[in-house]
A and B are shown apart, each in its own frame.
Chain A
C-alpha cells in the first residue's frame, strides 16, 4: 500500500526538480539539464571539428603534388589524427547532442539519469584526449583502421575503448529518456518521425560499438603483450562491422536531420509516415551488412558471402536511401505547393529559402549525398567492380561525399538552427553564414569528384608520394592523375576555408552573439498537444502526382545512376581475365 503511494510521489518529486524553457523562436520546449548536456556535447564536437580541420590542411597540402608539404612521418600521423577526429569525435559528440535533442526536446520530457549522461560525456572526452595524445606522440600512425599486425601504442586503443563505452552509455540514456517520455505521457501516439530516425541511429550505434569492443579490446591486450595474436583477416572483418556501421549511424542521423529541417524550414510533413518509417526500418535490418564493402578484394571470404552482404541483401538499404531521397524533397515540394508556389515543375524549388543556411545546407547535402556519395558507393560496393577502385583515392572521394557532404554539412546546417534556439544567441555575420553552405558544400562536391577521377586513374589513398621518391622501379602516373591531384588540393583548400567560416560563425555567435530572450520557464512539462488529423496528401501538382518536380529530379538521378553503373562494367570488362 505504502509502496503504491510512494511511486507517484517520487515521480512528482523528480518532476518538480526539473526546469523547462519554452523557446519563443521555435516553440520547442527545452529541459534545462538536457539543454546543458546538448550544449556541452555540441561544443566539444565543434572543437574536434576545428582540430580535424587544421589537420586537413596538412593532408591536403601534402597530397597536392606541387606543394607536397609535410614529411612522410608527419603526414601519416596527421592523416591518422584527421580521420579519427573527424569520423569519430566530431561526428559522435554531435550525434549525442542530436540524440538528446530528439528524445528530450522533441518529446518534451526530462532527460533520464542526467548524471549518468555526464559520466558518458566524461568518458568520451577522456577517451578522445587519450587517443589523440597517443597519436600525436608519433608512435601510433596506424590510420583510423589500425589493421593488425601493425601496432599502435596501448593508449591509442584504450582511448578508443573509453570513448566507445561513453558513447554506448549515452545511447542508453537516450533509450531511457524515451521510456520516461512514454511513462510520463508527454506525447500521444507514436514518436515523431525524426525521433524514430534517431532511434534507428541509436540501435545501429549499439551494434557498432559492440563490434568495436569485440575487436579493439583484444587488440589493446595485444599491444600490452597479454594476447599474442589477433588474426589479420578476422580483425578486418570485425573492425569493419564497427568502422562501416559507424557511418551508417551517421546516415540515419543526418537523414533524420533532413526530415527535421524540412519540417522547420517549410512546415513540411512527411508525404507518408508509413513509407518513411518503413525505409528507416530497412536500415535496421540491412544497413550493417555493408561492412562487406571493405572485404571485397580480400582473400578468405566466399563469393556468396560477398554478394549477399555487399548488396545489403538485395540492395534493400539502397532502396531505403532512394526512398528518403525522394520523400524529403517531396515533402518540401508538397508544402511549398500548398503555399501557392505551384507554377510548373520547379517553382517550389526556385522559391525555396536559398538564403537560409539551415535549408541551403541541407539541400546541398541531400543532392551531393545522393548523386556523389550514393552512386559511387553502390558502384564501388559491387563485388566485381570493387577491384577497379579498392584502396585507391576513389574511396576517400566517395566517403567525403557521404560523410562530409552528407553528415558534416547537415550538422552544420542544423547548427545554424540551434544557435538562436538552443544557444539563445543571435548569429554574428549572417551574410557569411548564408555563403558558408555554398562555399563548403560546392567545393566539397568538386573535391570529391576530382578525387574519384584520380582514383579511377589508379592513384593510391593513404600514400605520401605519388612520385615514389627513392624507389628504384618508380611508376610514372599519367599527367591527368597529377592534374586531378592538383585539383584535389585546390578543392580541399576551398573546403577548408568553408569549414573555417563555419567555426568562426558558430563559435563567434556562441561567445559574442547578442543574447536572445530565454522565453518562459516552468517547473512542469507542457505535454505536446495532439495534432488535428489532416487529409491525406493533397492532389495539387500535375498528373495526379503530389510532387512531380521531385519525381523528375529522381528520374534524373536514376538515369545518372544507371549510366555510371554500366560504364564501370564496361571498364571492368576490358581488364585482364581473373577467375
Chain B
C-alpha cells in the first residue's frame, strides 16, 4: 500500500497525474489568482480600504492634540462623567483616545462628510468596534493611526472595545453620532 510506506516507485516524481488532480489544481489555481487580485482591485475601485498612515506617538502628545479639538468643538457633555461630545467641522482632524476603560471624547459627525480620525491607546491594546455597522480596527499604544472615514448613514452608533483590556473590559463602550 500506501501513504505509510515508502513509495513503491523510486522515481515517484515521474509518476503521472490523474486528470482529476490536474483539473482540480488548475481550477484551484485560477480561484487563488481571482482572490489575490480581488484585494488589489478593491484598492483601486473599492471604497473601504483601511489606511496605513501611522505615526509614533506618546500619551502626552496625543492627549494635547485631542484636548485642543475638544476645547474648540465641544457642543455638549453626556453621562455623569461629563464626557464631551465633539462636533468638528467636515474634513478636519478628529482625535479619539482609547484608555482603561473608556473612549474619549464622543464624536458627532455629519453624514457623507470625510474626517481624518486619529486613533491611539493610552495604555494597553484596545479594539475599535463600531456597531451595528461592524467596522473593527486594532488600537495599539504608542502608535497614532490616521484613518479617513466617511459615514454613509446617520443615527446613533456604538463604539465597543473588542480587544481584551482587563477586568472592566466589558464596560468600555461609548457612542458615536452621525447627523
Report which A residues bind B (CB closer than 8 A).
72-73, 76, 106, 143, 147, 149-150, 187-194, 231-233, 236, 259-260, 262-264, 267-277, 295-303, 306-307, 310-311, 314-316, 318-319, 322-323, 326-327, 330-331, 378, 382-384, 387-392, 456-458, 460-466, 468-475, 477-478, 528, 530-534, 536-537, 544-548, 550-551, 554, 558, 561-562, 565, 569, 572-573, 575-579
Q: Could you tell me if B35 and A532 are in contact, using CB atoms closer than 8 angstroms?
A: no
Q: Is the CB of A307 within 8 A of B39?
A: yes
Q: List 13 A-B contacts (CB under 8 A).
A: A263-B5, A264-B4, A269-B3, A272-B18, A275-B17, A297-B136, A384-B46, A387-B135, A390-B138, A576-B135, A576-B152, A576-B153, A579-B51
Chain B residue with minimal CB distance to A389? B136
- CB-CB contacts below 8 Å: B12-64 with A: 12-21, 23-25, 27-29, 31-33, 35-36, 38-40, 42-43, 46-52, 54
For residue B131, CB closer than 8 A to chain A, the reply is yes
Q: Report B's interface with A, CB cutoff 8 A.
A: 1-10, 12-21, 23-25, 27-29, 31-33, 35-36, 38-40, 42-43, 46-52, 54, 78-81, 114, 119, 123-125, 127, 129-138, 140-145, 147-153, 158, 160-175
CB of A189 within 8 A of CB of B50, answer: no
B32 touches A391 (CB 8 A): no
Given contacts A471-B171, A475-B131, 12 further A-B contacts (CB under 8 A): A147-B163, A149-B123, A264-B4, A267-B2, A274-B14, A470-B171, A471-B170, A544-B19, A546-B18, A573-B47, A578-B50, A579-B47
Cross-chain contact A315 with B32 (CB below 8 angstroms):
yes
Task: Across the interface, name the chain B residue whose C-beta is closest to A478.
Answer: B132
**Cα distance A457–B136 in the bound complex, in angstroms:** 12
Nearest CB of chain A from residue B159's CB, rounded to whole Å: 8
Assess the B47–A272 pair: CB atoms within 8 A.
no
Closest residue of chain B to A476 (Cβ to Cβ) is: B158
**B79 A273 Cβ-Cβ under 8 A:** no
Top-5 shortest CB links A-B: A577-B150, A299-B145, A315-B32, A475-B158, A263-B2
A400 → chain B closest CB, angstroms: 18
User: Is B50's CB under 8 angstroms from A297's CB?
Assistant: yes
| A577 to B135 Cα, complex, angstroms | 11
A545 touches B18 (CB 8 A): yes
CA distance A267 to B2 in the complex (A): 6
How far apart sit A147 and B172, CA to CA, in the bound complex (Å)?
18
CB-CB under 8 A from B8, the residues of chain A are 530-534
Q: Is the CB of A573 within 8 A of B46?
A: yes
